[in-house]
Amino acid sequence: MVDGVNEGGRATATAPNALWARLRSGDWLDRPRLARLAAVLLAVELALFAFVIAGTHGWIVPLQRPTTTDFASFYAAGALADAGTPALAYNEPAHLAAEERATAPGIEYQFFYYPPVYLILCAVLAYLPYLVAFVAFAGVSLAAYLAVARRILDDRSGTALLALLAFPAVWWTIGLGQNAFLSAALFGAATLVVDRRPLLAGMLFGALCYKPHFGLLIPVALVAGGRWRTIASAGVTVAALVFASILLFGWDSWHAYFAAARAAPAMYESGRIAFAGFVSPFGSLRLLGVPPAWAYAVQGAVSLAAAFLVAVVWRRGLPLPLRAATLAAGALVATPLALLYDLMLGTVAVAWLVRDTGQRAAPVWEKTVLAGLFLVLIDPRDLSEAWHMPLTGLAALALFALVARRAAAALGWNLARFGLGRGVAV
């Protein structure tokens, strides 16, 4: 064969074309190869994680100032609540002093913008020594997330566990000391039981009120689907948690929270938290230099589009995997305040997509796209800043587009004229 033509004169695929065709087909990512690639990626991530730990503790080169994680914010807020001064969790000087007592003097301040219902958990954690509390919180919430995700996948195999653990946001969540495992576990568990146990689903959705911005589309889905028992259960759960927080911490804590919440948008708009770490369209546009007003306008349009799709999918009563995937992927792009670790919510959407793939036709290229999103998120903040490209935001939008394409096909919307209608049964 010379220059793409065989001896008989017939055209043949060149190596690049053959590679592209294989990638587009998704055939290259079979289950054995997925297990091997996930194992290799997990090993690399563990090595990088150990290197980062060594670096942030000054074991490689001396540090100019001590470092810490977002968990210091949770622990300090809990310590202030245990000391009888919960409202000071929203007072920056007092909260910083509590963070330094828990970690080391001179650390960078970690904000606390959570409602007082989250102080209930923080106060419990603060009874433990700091490192014990950190490990317990990360370990228990990770175990809960893995249990829920494997249940969604309906796959208890080692391959599924490797793939879930190798997702880069897992290690970002642990490294940053964040609560994304808890959020994903509550959200995923609620979608698992929403059809069978509506009251329990409402309780799980209601418990997410500690992170209220991720609940924007939940009422849209439940109202569109006529899930009145779940709505009532969620409302009662939120009311009970708020009442418990008032009993434990007083109304002053809520007053302080509302005052802090009013100041929060200015801080997020300022870039004090790097825009490269945002997942939302708002953060993506701010990274590109778009003024806040225009970024909010585009964010509003995306949020409305996500709400519309969620409403239609739940109103039409599509199968649970599609309803749950649409809600999870939509929730990720609908809020302007979604950060790198919040991509854990995206794994709930992906798990439901995989579950749905066993029940209907899937686009031939979808596995390759998901694998590409998986890999680009290994170090999205540094790459986003270096390339001046919002990789995390693009990844979230790409996931939402995949879900929207699958939902549109199930709704019978004609996508063939856009070249998006072909799929193969998996």
> Each residue of 312-369: pLDDT tens digit?
999 999 999 999 999 999 999 999 989 999 999 999 999 999 888 765 556 667 777 8
Percent of the chain whose predicted confidence (pLDDT) is above 90: 67
| pLDDT of the residue at 423 | 44
| pLDDT of the residue at 15 | 58
Res 4 pLDDT > 50: no
Higher pLDDT, 99 or 28: 99
**pLDDT-based confidence at residue 214 (cuts at 50, 70, 90):** very high
**pLDDT-based confidence at residue 74 (cuts at 50, 70, 90):** very high
> Each residue of 168-184: pLDDT tens digit?
999 999 999 999 999 99
| pLDDT of the residue at 24 | 59
| pLDDT of the residue at 364 | 65
| pLDDT of the residue at 116 | 97
**pLDDT-based confidence at residue 309 (cuts at 50, 70, 90):** very high
| pLDDT of the residue at 255 | 96
The pTM of this model reads 0.89
> Each residue of 125-147: pLDDT tens digit?
999 999 999 999 999 999 999 99
| pLDDT of the residue at 360 | 58
Measure the CA–CA gap between 290 and 275, rounded to whole angstroms: 11
Arithmetic mean of pLDDT, 388-403: 92
| pLDDT of the residue at 363 | 65
Res 90 pLDDT > 70: yes
Res 1 pLDDT > 80: no
**pLDDT-based confidence at residue 67 (cuts at 50, 70, 90):** confident
Arithmetic mean of pLDDT, 30-54: 87
In whole numbers, what is the pLDDT of the chain averaged over residues? 88
Percent of the chain whose predicted confidence (pLDDT) is above 70: 88
